[in-house]
Amino acid sequence: MWSLYHHQHLPFSGLFRYRKPFSPFSANLFHGFKLNISNVRKRRGYRLRNRIFQVRALDEDTFNISLLDDWGIDEGTAGTLISSSDGEDSDGDFILNPVSDIDLPSGNVSTNDALTVTATRFAMIAKGRRKHRIRLGILNNLGLIVFLLALLLFVDWCAWKIVRQPLAPFYLSRPFFISTALVSIVGYLFVPFLNALKVHQNVRNEAPVRHHKKRGTPTMGGLFFIPIGIGVAKLIAGFSSVEVSGAAVATVAFASIGLLDDILSLIKNHNNGLSSQIKLFLELAAGTLFAFWLDTTSISSPYSMKMLIPLPAPLGLVCLGKCYLLLTSFCFVSMGTGVDLTDGLDGLAGGTAALAFVAMSIAVLPICSELAIFGASMAGACVGFLLHNRYRASIFMGDIGSLALGGGLAAMAACTGMFFPLFISSGFFFLETSSVIMQVAYFKATRWLSGAGHHLFRMAPFHHHLELCGFEEPTIVAGAYVVSCLLALVAGYVGLISA
């Protein structure tokens, strides 16, 4: 029921009930109503003054329909008569007549609670904003797919100029297409399966408030898109490629670490699986074993020697010797941790990882063309997963997916020496990792100096800081995609001129 009253908030002297109370949940308050000035009653000879009136919802028990007869209002008139105060400044009485019968949205809340009414209206607004964010998530996916396809088709078109030897048609586009199609199809079968098994995401208590609504979303999506990406690469590149086999084993090893972490998280029923120290130790162990495998295995290299890092002119080839092994271990740990920290928003880690894989595929194409197939296939697997992981996500990749992506990127760089293009294409991952390091260091330093620790960011990693600053998830993801697209172009170009 709606009422108009004096701007000085004076009490009502006449209270009336309307036969069919209107719902208080209308977004447009005066929709379907008109102010009937002809029915204005003037009392004590005072004229209606120009005043500002406010509209509020009152209790349905506030009005008494029996008093309508005293004012001589026809019972057939669908109006609500409201009186102002009886003071000398009384402005008169008003009647709101509905123009026609309308259906207003209703809610299961009490009309006696104005705060609940307000909250319901805001919820209706938020529902519209969610639909807007969902559309933004779809646009992010479309933009990413168009960019990756255009880039891969362009590289396939001029690949003979890059490699100086004939390659199969659609050399990089074909594994990308196949992996994308397979992952997107399998996802429609695998997501309900994980949901039925109640393999659900656990949200940290210290996470932003809006993330708590993600509880109950299936996780461990890496179980279906990581094997598809590896399998397609092995089938197309052939099982005789040592580099592809080594990258596949490294990806599986890091996926196993993530799987163990996810299983422990589900068993403990909270978001704490492996401790950070144990996880770092396992990543370091896997990276070190891969480095020793590189040292003892004969891999193809256009320079007839290993442990080289190609850099743009005038630096050229840089031989690190045994330091190459240390750099390899560091790269595995940093990439695994970086992708894992980035996996905090819908579509953020998958999209940025797909761009990094495409950049690495272009960079390693002149050195090891089979390994470029591995990168294109993994990028396609990430894009296929994004069809289920965009806002709002129906599944998360979990640590099994994020750690595997980091391990695969590091393996591509270690097998070819393309560490510099990797660091460029993974710039967003290093931003996320650096934000956590700076947050911890700044807090400890200020606590040691002043006795009270202070935060450099509102929350780390950096994407949570942007969330708390008021940015929406799809907006943050779109910005990350734009930055990663530029970094991917630069990384691919640097790799080509370095080879």
pLDDT digits (tens, 9 = 90+) for 236-255: 998 888 999 999 999 999 99
pLDDT exceeds 60 at position 45: no
Considering 24-38, 83-97, 291-305, 418-432, the range whose residues carry the highest mean pLDDT is 418-432
Whether 153 and 103 map to the same domain: the answer is no
Whether 213 and 341 map to the same domain: the answer is yes
Lowest-confidence range among 44-58, 237-251, 410-424? Answer: 44-58
Residues 300-337: pLDDT tens digits?
766 656 788 999 888 888 888 889 999 999 999 999 99
The chain-wide mean pLDDT, for the chain, equals: 78
What is the 3 state secondary structure string of the chain? Answer: CEEEECCCCCCCCCCCCCCCCCCCCCCCCCCCEEECHHHCECCCCCCCCCCCCEEEECCCCCCCHHHHHHHCCCCCCCCEEEECCCCCCCCCEEEEEECCCCCCCCCCCCCCCHHHHHHHHHHHHHHHHHHHHHHHHHHHHHHHHHHHHHHHHHHHHCHHHHHCCCCCCCCCHHHHHHHHHHHHHHHHHHHHHHHHCCCECCCCCCCCHHHHHHCCCECCCHHHHHHHHHHHHHHHHCCCCHHHHHHHHHHHHHHHHHHHHHHHHHHHCCCCCCCHHHHHHHHHHHHHHHHHHHHHCCCCCCCCCCCEEECCCCCCEEECCCHHHHHHHHHHHHHHHHHHHHCCCCCHHHHHHHHHHHHHHHHHCCCCHHHHHHHHHHHHHHHHHHHHHCCCCCCCCHHHHHHHHHHHHHHHHHHHCCHHHHHHHCHHHHHHHHHHHHHHHHHHHHHHHHCCCCCCCCCCCHHHHHHHCCCCHHHHHHHHHHHHHHHHHHHHHHHHHHC
Identify whether 131 is part of a domain: no
Mean pLDDT of 46-52: 44
Identify whether 120 is part of a domain: no
* Domain hosting residue 363, numbered range: 137-439+447-498
Quick one: pLDDT at residue 123? Answer: 52
Identify whether 308 is part of a domain: yes
Answer with the one of 112, 127, 155 that is the final residue of a domain. Answer: 112
Identify whether 123 is part of a domain: no
Whether 200 and 238 map to the same domain: the answer is yes
Whether 67 and 143 map to the same domain: the answer is no
The pLDDT > 90 percentage for the chain reads 51
Whether 310 and 232 map to the same domain: the answer is yes
Identify whether 118 is part of a domain: no
pTM of the model: 0.74
Whether 180 and 69 map to the same domain: the answer is no
Whether 269 and 387 map to the same domain: the answer is yes
pLDDT exceeds 70 at position 96: no
Whether 67 and 209 map to the same domain: the answer is no
Answer with the one of 49, 77, 112 that is the final residue of a domain. Answer: 112
Whether 107 and 153 map to the same domain: the answer is no
Lowest-confidence range among 123-132, 355-364, 487-496? Answer: 123-132
Quick one: pLDDT at residue 62? Answer: 39
pLDDT exceeds 60 at position 35: no
pLDDT tier at 414 (50, 70, 90 boundaries)? very high
Whether 106 and 144 map to the same domain: the answer is no
Residues 348-361: pLDDT tens digits?
999 999 999 999 99
Answer with the one of 61, 79, 112 that is the final residue of a domain. Answer: 112
pLDDT tier at 120 (50, 70, 90 boundaries)? low
Residues 453-479: pLDDT tens digits?
889 999 989 999 999 998 999 999 999
Identify whether 128 is part of a domain: no
Identify whether 119 is part of a domain: no
Identify whether 419 is part of a domain: yes
pLDDT exceeds 80 at position 147: yes
Whether 229 and 106 map to the same domain: the answer is no
Whether 172 and 41 map to the same domain: the answer is no
Mean pLDDT of 102-109: 45
Total number of domains constituting the chain: 2
